[in-house]
Amino acid sequence: MSKTPSRRMILRGLLGGSAVAIGLPVLECFLNESGTALAGETSFPKRFGLFFWGNGTLPHLWTPEGVGQGDEWQLSEQLASLLPVKDRISVLTGFEVRVNNEIPHYSGAAGFLSGHAPLGEEGDNTFAAPSIDQVIAAEVGGQTLYRSIEFGAYPGGGLSYNGPNSVNPPESSPYLMFERLFGTGFVVPGDDPVIDPRLGLRRSVLDAVLDQTHELRARVGASDAARLDQHLSGIRDLELRLARMQENPANLESCALPSMPPSDDAIGTLSERHRLLVDLAVMSFACDQTRVWSDLFTHPVHNFVFPGTDAGQHQLTHDELDPQPMVNDTVKQAVDEFRYLVEALSAIPEGDATLLDHCAILATSDVSLGRVHALDEFPIITAGSCGGALKTGIHYRSETRESASSVMLSIVRAMGINAASFGGDDAMVTDGLSALET
């Protein structure tokens, strides 16, 4: 509670001119506030990642044979490329997203990721509630440089919402993502940060902006006040980040400066772009710059013409004749990107385990069968045990069309968040999916 006044005092003290005095003694008050220093932690932090692709699956080629653990079930046609990571994922089928399917593609994405039907009309929609990544980031995001990171191989879109009309736009340039996460100001573990008086000055400017925003907030109506609250929260995030950039980074063994990705025009394929982004995102977890990210390989209604197909993928889902061989191929390409992500997280050792073991990764789409925009048989895969909280290596099939929200509640709880429910209206659940929980 006393943090704000003391921080302001520090900033004003800084303005007195002794900028060089900025250093650890000052910054420890932030550290104390935010809690644990990583070096002193005995367990590794839990992270959440979302992998999303647009326009769904072909459910009859998606659902695995058999249910249970290990050899009791076999990967399906569309999931075949997950064989090397089968023991680290859980495939959950037969679930339903329980919102009115009024806005094809968007209702499913909003309904699953936020547990609420979207607001607005077709074409200018917004989530009505925060998406799961932000539900989690609200609890764990304050402990890292970045509350969350959003990225996507196919440019544009955005499915990470802080609340209505407040989307976190994804980064699609590996180069810019590198600059943001590992460019100026990034300190490799073991090195000391370069003391930069400008960081303190920037914080005092932000403090003035914060005051102006508060003053403006008092004069506007309720809906604008909600927008300015999002703005204020972003300003505070940035202030905190500038402070933390002068701290010594936690001594994380697996954190290393990744190599600089090629420029955007030198990237040939969507897959190459995606994997470059994933490599950076994986390292952002390893370096504990964030504990939450969302990865939009493609987004709902995207019309990218995949290699080996002869039309935009959205058009194919609607127009290609059964059995839709090209749609099948594009779904398999998306699943293979997910395999890459899971293997990349598994390749990073953390203690006796791997980074993946400390993650809850959720893979999903906006519909099941794209042709009819179906919300039953919703595609859901998890990866990683999230520090032992989630089962891996299983295929669980719901015979009762359970609410997909139950998976979300299990994940939120696995992240160590004491949530009573997930979602609203018909999509609200108060029980997680016990079959997924350990």
Token code pair at residue 371: 């042709």
Helical packing angle, 3-15 and 24-34, nearest 10°: 160
Single out the residue of 70, 221, 352, 420 in contact with other proteins (rule: CB under 8 A): 221
Interacting residues with other proteins between 81 and 120 (CB under 8 A): 101-104, 120
Residue with smaller CB distance to other proteins, 150 or 357: 150
φ/ψ of 178, rounded to 5, equals -60, -50
Single out the residue of 26, 158, 272, 353 in contact with other proteins (rule: CB under 8 A): 158
Contacting residues for 214 by C-beta, under 8 A, at least 6 apart: 232
Least distance between other proteins and beta carbon 408 (Å): 21
Residue with smaller CB distance to other proteins, 292 or 433: 292
How long a stretch of residues is the chain? 438
The whole-angstrom distance between residue 215's C-alpha and the CA centroid of its chain comes to 33
Residue with smaller CB distance to other proteins, 169 or 351: 169
Q: Is 28 in the site for other proteins (CB under 8 A)?
A: no
* Distance from C-alpha of 74 to C-alpha of 80, rounded to nearest angstrom: 9
Token code pair at residue 349: 């050792």
Q: Is 202 in the site for other proteins (CB under 8 A)?
A: yes
Least distance between other proteins and beta carbon 369 (Å): 9
DSSP symbol at 323: T
Contact assessment for residue 170 and residue 151, using Cβ atoms and an 8 Å cutoff: yes
Single out the residue of 9, 194, 208, 347 in contact with other proteins (rule: CB under 8 A): 208
Least distance between other proteins and beta carbon 178 (Å): 15
Single out the residue of 55, 166, 289, 406 in contact with other proteins (rule: CB under 8 A): 166
Interacting residues with other proteins between 240 and 279 (CB under 8 A): 240
Q: Is 136 in the site for other proteins (CB under 8 A)?
A: no
The whole-angstrom distance between residue 174's C-alpha and the CA centroid of its chain comes to 16
Single out the residue of 235, 287, 360, 433 in contact with other proteins (rule: CB under 8 A): 235
φ/ψ of 350, rounded to 5, equals -140, 110
The secondary structure of 104-148 as a DSSP string is TTHHHHHHHHTSSPPBS-TTS-B-SS--HHHHHHHHHGGGSS-S-
Interacting residues with other proteins between 347 and 376 (CB under 8 A): 371-375
Residue with smaller CB distance to other proteins, 187 or 225: 225
Residue with smaller CB distance to other proteins, 147 or 358: 147
Contact assessment for residue 54 and residue 299, using Cβ atoms and an 8 Å cutoff: yes
Least distance between other proteins and beta carbon 326 (Å): 12
Least distance between other proteins and beta carbon 62 (Å): 18
Q: Is 142 in the site for other proteins (CB under 8 A)?
A: yes
Q: Is 35 in the site for other proteins (CB under 8 A)?
A: no
The span of 60-68, 213-221, 293-301, 415-423 binding other proteins (CB under 8 A) equals 213-221
Question: Per the omega criterion (within 30 degrees of 0), is the bond before 300 cis?
Answer: no
Alpha helices in 142-221 (DSSP H): 174-182, 197-219
Single out the residue of 31, 61, 238, 435 in contact with other proteins (rule: CB under 8 A): 238
Q: Is 417 in the site for other proteins (CB under 8 A)?
A: no
Q: Is 418 in the site for other proteins (CB under 8 A)?
A: no
Q: Is 6 in the site for other proteins (CB under 8 A)?
A: no
Residue with smaller CB distance to other proteins, 314 or 339: 314
Secondary structure class of 48 (helix, strand, coil): strand
The span of 82-90, 212-220, 350-358, 404-412 binding other proteins (CB under 8 A) equals 212-220
Least distance between other proteins and beta carbon 269 (Å): 15
Token code pair at residue 50: 């979302």
φ/ψ of 355, rounded to 5, equals -55, -40
Residue with smaller CB distance to other proteins, 171 or 247: 171
Q: Is 61 in the site for other proteins (CB under 8 A)?
A: no
Interacting residues with other proteins between 272 and 331 (CB under 8 A): 303-305, 310-312, 315, 318-322
* Distance from C-alpha of 276 to C-alpha of 295, rounded to nearest angstrom: 12
The two beta strands, 394-397 and 89-93, are parallel
Q: Smallest Cα–Cα separation from 396: which of 409, 408, 384, 407?
A: 407
